[in-house]
Amino acid sequence: MKITGVIQAGGKSTRMGGQPKALMDLGGRRIIERVVGALTGAVDDLLIVTNTPDLYAFLGLPVVPDVYPDHGSLGGIYSGLKAASGEAAFTVACDMPFLRREVVRLVVARAPLGDVVIPRVGDQYETMHAAYQKSCLPHMEERLLAGQLKIVGFFDKVRVVAIGEAEIARYGDPAVMFMNVNTPEELERARALVREPA
């Protein structure tokens, strides 16, 4: 199965004062460069979902806009999956600096087993670190057109394969791997983690 890696970079970064969080420096690299690095070699190809393509032109990756602007993360996942050249899209957020390629590979390897293959930490699905097959598109679109933007809202219509916390934790602390950098405080925490010896 061909899997396209999709990086969601459509947010407005309001909690970061409007500065694009994906472009923040972390240990000498932009956060989005860290994300690209984790995906490279684990997926067949890459694209970015964004409505500000000029900001990410330096990466040299294909860019697609939101099909349904201002429809949140579900809209971004739908847009990336629709544009993906593969039968499935492995979708991540642009602000997750500590992604592990091993965990990406774990999810991607199981992508053929379900319409959605997704890590679950406690009761929380990691919706922005999951593989979605094209079979999800009509169910996503139905939710988008109804203005129902909760990502897990269509899960009862498809086959969901969860990867448990214990399996994920073999590769590192899930709280770090799935961490988002949305605020200046979270950016400082991420910078402290980068400075800590590995």
pLDDT at 24 over 90: no
pLDDT at 42 over 60: yes
| Structural domain includes residue 159 | yes
| Structural domain includes residue 110 | yes
Give the SS3 label for residue 188: helix
Give the rounded percent of residues in the chain with a pLDDT score beyond 90: 74
pLDDT for 131 equals 98
| Structural domain includes residue 198 | no
| Structural domain includes residue 74 | yes
User: What's the structural domain count of the chain?
Assistant: 1
95-130 confidence digits (pLDDT tens):
999 999 999 999 999 999 999 999 999 999 999 999
Return the residue matching tokens 């169910």.
Answer: 139
| Structural domain includes residue 96 | yes
| Structural domain includes residue 197 | no
Q: Average of pLDDT values for 13-30?
A: 74
Mean of per-residue pLDDT scores for the chain: 91
| More confident: 187 or 170 | 170
Give the SS3 label for residue 22: helix
**Domain span at 145:** 3-192
Reported as half-sphere exposure (CB side, CA atoms, 13 A), residue 83 has a value of 23
pLDDT for 187 equals 81
Q: Average of pLDDT values for 182-192?
A: 83
| More confident: 136 or 28 | 136
Q: Check if the beta carbon of residue 133 is closer than 8 Å to that of residue 78.
A: no
| Structural domain includes residue 89 | yes
Start-end of H helices in the chain: 31-39, 72-83, 101-110, 137-145, 165-169, 174-177, 184-195
| Structural domain includes residue 108 | yes
pLDDT class of 188 with cuts at 50, 70, 90: confident
CATH of the domain at 22: 3.90.550.10
pLDDT class of 183 with cuts at 50, 70, 90: confident
pLDDT for 18 equals 63
pLDDT for 196 equals 61
